[in-house]
Amino acid sequence: MIVCRLVALLFACGALIALGGDVWQAAAGGGWQPRALGQIWFQLDAGSLNLVQAVVQRYLHPWLWDPAFVQVLLWPAWVVPGALAILLFALCRRRHRTTGAFD
């Protein structure tokens, strides 16, 4: 349970960092142009992006890469980790157990 929350927190931090970079760029006079997830991934490690493309197309299905993965890679970089953080926080929330009807 704690590991799930920690991973959710890491995704949330990644989303905030990406959003902060977009806000910083807009405040510096560049206008609001959110950077795409694929653009940032390419700048960080183009080789791993190419490897993921090859693996998806060769071992999973070529259809998965072009409409599915490419669409996600075109989303703003803060959307994907933000959505994953929300999903994990929802799945990892504490559930209160009741032991009886008169607690």
Strand partners, 36: 76
Give the C-alpha separation, 34 to 19, whole Å: 8
Q: Say which residues have a Cβ less than 8 Å from residue 64's Cβ, sequence separation at least 6.
A: 56, 57
pLDDT at 98: 65
pLDDT band at 97 (very low <50, low <70, confident <90, very high): low
Tens digits of residue pLDDT in 16-69? 999 999 999 999 987 899 999 999 999 999 999 999 999 999 999 989 998 899
Inter-residue contact 39 to 53 (CB < 8 Å):
no
